[in-house]
A and B are shown apart, each in its own frame.
Chain A
Amino acid sequence: MPAYRNYVVVWVVLLLLTAVTVGVSFLSLGLWNAAVALGIASLKAVLVALYFMHLRHEVKLVLGFATFPLLILGLIIFGTLTDFLYR
């Protein structure tokens, strides 16, 4: 059962990453705390999207529908933040 086994492996990696991110949060790294937490969260998100949500085997059209909104969200956050900081 290769599919089940893949899912379990991904799940174990996700749990390990959760443990790492909780562990790192107890250290005082200044700005790096946020960077590490967001980096690990994004790594987990990519794993969930690729394996659990099957984007690894997805057709290009659906892949476009799945990733394009991220660009829009990035623009919204970037635009709002720069407006606030450099007003």
Chain B
Amino acid sequence: MKSEQPKHEGAPVSARLGIWAFLATELLLFGALFTVYAVYRTVYPDLFHQEHLKLNRLLGALNTILLLTSSLSMAVGIAAIRRGRQQVLKIALVLTLLLAAGFLGIKYLEWSEDFSHGLLPKSNLFFGLYFMMTGLHGLHVIFGMLVMAWLLVCANRGQFSADYNTPVEVTGLYWHFVDLVWIYLFPLLYLVG
């Protein structure tokens, strides 16, 4: 084991450029919603403050922990396959999938509770934004899970190795981006409203 990691191990530059270009479009997709949030939060600070107290802060924090941990398992999976450890990659992918499913499960509980209290997207500006932003983010989680399930199938066939693991790394970058979006959604919606 080398003490210093080589500078550009892993996927070719073209693949990394491609996924980062895609993530740029994703950033602007979510960015539009963040802009709407910034405007209405400035125009109606009292409404946002009063409505954000209706969200469950602890469930939001728990979901943050789940997503951060899923990012860790994804990163570990990539580090493992770069060393040719297929078994560790498979375990890491399964863990990431389970954590992502846990995230969606908690999201489901939160939404059901909101609905049962009569909090709907049409209730007010804050909840409209809350459902839109967490909904779009949830769709991204589901899409990430589908891709990871496909990665798991490929990994089971032994398609990834220390020499070839570009799909794993590219999916990892996407997954960390989904984590990044949540890192901002959590404080904006649950903590400061």
Contact = CB atoms under 8 A, between A and B. Distances in A.
Interface residues of B, number: 49
Contacts of A7: 72, 75-76, 79
Grouping DSSP codes into helix (H, G, I), strand (E, B) and loop, the A interface class, with mixed when no group exceeds half, is helix
A50 B78 CA distance: 15
A73 B27 contact: yes
A11 B20 CA distance: 23
B187 A21 contact: yes
A69 B27 contact: yes
A45 B191 contact: no
B10 A54 contact: yes
Interface stretch (B33-41, B115-123, B135-143, B144-152): B33-41
Interface stretch (B106-114, B126-134, B175-183): B175-183
A30 to B, nearest CB: 11
A11 B68 CA distance: 7
**Which of A15, A62, A80 lies at the interface centre, i.e. has the most chain B CB atoms within 10 A of its CB?**
A62
B8 interface: yes
B187 A45 contact: no
B192 A2 contact: no
Interface in A40-64: 40-41, 44-45, 48-49, 51-54, 57-59, 61-62
A57 B65 contact: no
Given A18-B64, A38-B187, 6 more contacts: A41-B183, A57-B5, A72-B28, A73-B28, A77-B35, A80-B39
